[in-house]
Structures are given as C-alpha cells and as structure tokens.
Amino acid sequence: MGAITLFFTSIGLSMDACAVSISNGMCFTNIHRKQIIYTAIAFGFFQAFMPVIGYIVGQTFSDLISFLDHWIALILLSIIGGKMIVEALKELKYPEACLTTIKTLTYKTLFVQSIATSIDALAVGISFAVMQVNILYAALSIGVITFICSLAGSYLGKRFGQMFKQKAEILGGSILIIIGIKIFLEHTLL
C-alpha cells in the first residue's frame, strides 16, 4: 500500500472519531482544552491500536485467504464506508438535537466512544494483514491523523455545532469505499 493510499485510508478511518469529536464539542458543556486533548489522545490511540489487533488476527488466517485478499478488502471497506454514509444520512434526515440539560463528558463515555469509533479500524487491520501492509507505519499514520482530526473536530464542534458532523461521516465513508474499489482494481487488473 502506497503512502497516498495509506494517508486517505487514515483520513477515512478518522472521520468517525472526528464526527464524534464534533458532536462532543457541540453537546458537552465541559469541553475545554484539557478535554479536547484527552479526546484526541483516546481516539488516536484506539484508532492506531485496533488495526494492530486486526492485523494479528488477519496474519493468522492470511495464508488461507490470500487468493481472496482484494475481495476481502473491497467488501470490508465498502461495508464500513457504506455504514458510515447510511448513518450520516439518517442523522441528516432525523437530526438529534443535544439535550438542553447540562451534559459533561466523562472518561467512561470517552472510553466507550473510542472503542466504538475504532471497530472499523479493526476490520481494516485484517485487510492490512491480507495485503501485507507495514502495520507499524500504518497504525502510526492512522493514530496521528485521527489525533489531528479529533482535535480539529472538537474545536469545530465547540464553534460551529451541527453543521459539519454528517458531512464528515459521508466524506469518510466515501473515501473508504473508493479505496476498497482501488485495491480491488489493482489486484484484478494488474
């Protein structure tokens, strides 16, 4: 996997965390510099860690499924990207307003959000194993980009609210689907 493809994969994976960061910045009253940094660290860490776990699982089975690797990448990335797009479109159609009561972001909530937003990265890690991607470089790229996007998302959410949340998820889902198609075409046409 080339650096450009990895960069866009990292961007695509970070969009869930970015969208949640925007939502947190918008909905939680205690979002200040300290909470924004904790959010970015948590999301960045889990987005980097989960592909490593997926990679280890994928390596265990890669010899058995190597002839299907491009299909697996296409299917997994398309499902993940499609899910992100569908969820964003549902939110656009049925917007959920923040509660008017005071809400604070807790460490427990942040932990659950970090796990939930990184499940997609676990599946991508399995694809990385099949494609024999350098997992340390990939995990570092995903983690750093997610950290940056989460920082930006929290600040955007605090400033601009609901305006960008769904658009970020749609963009992220679209990028993952396009990368899945690109991987499939590279393996079938070359």
Domain count, the chain: 1
Q: What is the pLDDT of residues 96-125, one digit of tens each?
A: 544 444 467 788 888 888 888 888 888 889
Distance separating alpha carbons of residues 155 and 142, to the nearest angstrom: 20
Q: What is the pLDDT of residues 111-168, one digit of tens each?
A: 888 888 888 888 889 888 878 889 999 999 999 999 999 999 888 888 775 566 667 6
pTM: 0.71
Residue 101 lies in a domain: no
Residue 99 lies in a domain: no
Residue 124 lies in a domain: yes
Three-class SS string for 43-96? HHHHHHHHHHHHHHHHHHHHHHHHHHHHHHHHHHHHHHHHHHHHHHHHHHHCCC
What is the domain range of residue 79?
3-92+107-189
CATH number at residue 11: 1.20.1250
